[in-house]
Structure 1
Amino acid sequence: MKCGLTEENTGHFVDEISINAYVWYDKNWQHDDYEHKHERYQLTYVEEGYQYFHIDNKILLVPQNHLIWIPSGKAHKISSEAKTVNLMIALFKSVPKNDFYNHIHVFPAPNVLKEMILYASKWSQLITENEEQSTFLTAILNSLPSFCDENNSLQIPVPADNRLIPVCNYINSNYHDGFGIDELAELAHLSVRSLQRIFKHETGITIQKYMQLIRVLKSIELINDNQNTLSEIAYKVGYKSLSAFTTSYFTIMKSKPKLKK
């Protein structure tokens, strides 16, 4: 049993729940590290920690106080190195006729939506008919297109061209160090010009932008650990000053980095 669904075999869930929508609130969430799918639309709110969703050759980061919407039947895998992940999942059998619901979205939770989601947690694991629950979850569902202020910068593209995999792996492992484009070109057995052209074509972003994205996403992990100052985090992810890190972080996240209180 996972989120009210029965796992018939690895990664395939059977839906035996009769109601259209229900919620599953979980503190210290334990994810399964394999791809799975189910025939319900999924809204996940990360209350604490962070999660990576691996979907369609992309890795999407869902940080604290963010949501991800996943259409029905979409295969996905989840990973996280966070010590604690608290989240609430709402699963819907049917949705309004709006193209919004047919696509993946990652966005921060506005305060009013956050409060609505946390209120709905009182119905966690209730899978029998409840009029207030049904009305309230329908209100959340209908409001999502209006609340969605999507941040596509939280997506890490995964190139299909195998020549670029060593490049991405090297950046992911050495993002805190200084290295040149020449080194990356050697790994791919390409000229610098060819590497830059192919990388942009495959991922939609430049190598420099990819590096910035990885550094900022790694900083979110460190901020979540709450073991370092912002200056220490800036240095750990490869920035020479706090101001440079703050500027880069704001470019990606549209907000300034903050430590937990």
Structure 2
Amino acid sequence: MPVGRQVPESQLWPGAGMHLWPSGGTSSEHAHPRGHLVYAARGVLSVHTERGTSIVPANRLTWIPAGFSHYHRAHGSTDMRILFLPAALARLVPGHPAVFMVSGLAREVLLTLTGPNQRDRDARARLRRVLVDELQEAPEQPLQLPEPRDDRLRAVAELLYEDPADNTALAELGQRVGAARAL
């Protein structure tokens, strides 16, 4: 669950946007009626869904299908780009959250589609198609951490999420959340 929500500086265009997040900035949990791509042009994002947490550095992007509940967290000052795909193109990418390697061409198309230099509608449609073609050629590159299912492990994960630099021994973290030490 997201904590310490900080509002980004945002610029939005039809079907796309740019959000400049301060380090530690976190969105609220939400879902969209359209699937979208999330890309960190600068910095690193973690994208959290019920399937797990994906780490998204600048050489990868994540796909979040329509209706998937998720939230984002910035690690370092982060320039997050979001591009919504029309249903006809969304059908061509996986029906589950996925992370892909970003080619040089895909990066430039993403930056063009999510930046202030907006092109006409037909040009944007052609560029979105090129981007989806690039994704179909890119293998999934999961940098994903599964969400723990056990309540005690989830509590430990939350402690570490709150303070990733915490180097407390696992046994002590277990005691804090009421877990018995393994024999």
Question: Does the alignment reach a TM-score above 0.5?
Answer: yes
Separation of aligned partners in 1, 2:146 and 2:132: 28
Q: Name the structure 2 match of 1:189.
A: 179
1:37 paired to 2:31: yes
Calculate percent identity across the aligned residue pairs: 21
User: Which one scores higher on RCO, CA 8 angstroms, separation ≥ 6?
Assistant: 2
1:106 paired to 2:99: yes
Q: Name the structure 2 match of 1:11.
A: none
Task: Tell me which moved more, 115-124 or 67-76.
Answer: 115-124
Residue 78 (structure 2) aligned to one of 80, 85, 90 = 85
Q: Name the structure 1 match of 2:6.
A: none
Larger Rg: 1
Cα drift, residue 75 of structure 1: 1.3
Residue 43 (structure 2) aligned to one of 39, 44, 49 = 49
Q: Name the structure 2 match of 1:115.
A: 108
1:164 paired to 2:153: yes
Whichever structure has more strand as a proportion of its residues is 2
Separation of aligned partners in 2, 1:75 and 1:125: 28
Matches within 5 A, 1:58-77: 58-77=52-71
Relative to structure 1, is the Cα distance of residues 34 and 2 closer, same or farther in structure 2, using a 3 angstrom cutoff?
Answer: farther
Separation of aligned partners in 2, 1:124 and 1:76: 28
Is the 1:55–1:76 contact (alpha carbons within 8 Å) kept by the matching residues of 2? yes
Cα drift, residue 68 of structure 1: 0.7
- Partner of 1:74: helix, strand, or coil? coil
The alignment's TM-score, normalised by the length of structure 2, stands at 0.72
Separation of aligned partners in 1, 2:173 and 2:115: 51
Residue 132 (structure 1) aligned to one of 123, 137, 140 = 123
Separation of aligned partners in 1, 2:11 and 2:69: 15
Relative to structure 1, is the Cα distance of residues 176 and 29 closer, same or farther in structure 2, using a 3 angstrom cutoff?
Answer: closer
Is the 2:39–2:82 contact (alpha carbons within 8 Å) kept by the matching residues of 1? yes
Please provide the CA RMSD for this pair. Answer: 3.2
Is the 2:41–2:58 contact (alpha carbons within 8 Å) kept by the matching residues of 1? yes
The alignment's TM-score, normalised by the length of structure 1, stands at 0.53
Structure 1 residue runs of 5 or longer lacking an equivalent are: 5-16, 194-261
Structure 2 residue runs of 5 or longer lacking an equivalent are: 1-9
Relative to structure 1, is the Cα distance of residues 34 and 131 closer, same or farther in structure 2, using a 3 angstrom cutoff?
Answer: same
- Partner of 2:81: helix, strand, or coil? strand
Q: Name the structure 2 match of 1:95.
A: 88
Cα drift, residue 148 of structure 1: 3.4
Aligned residue type for 2:53: I
1:28 paired to 2:17: no
Separation of aligned partners in 1, 2:62 and 2:20: 18
Is the 1:39–1:93 contact (alpha carbons within 8 Å) kept by the matching residues of 2? no
Relative to structure 1, is the Cα distance of residues 171 and 41 closer, same or farther in structure 2, using a 3 angstrom cutoff?
Answer: closer
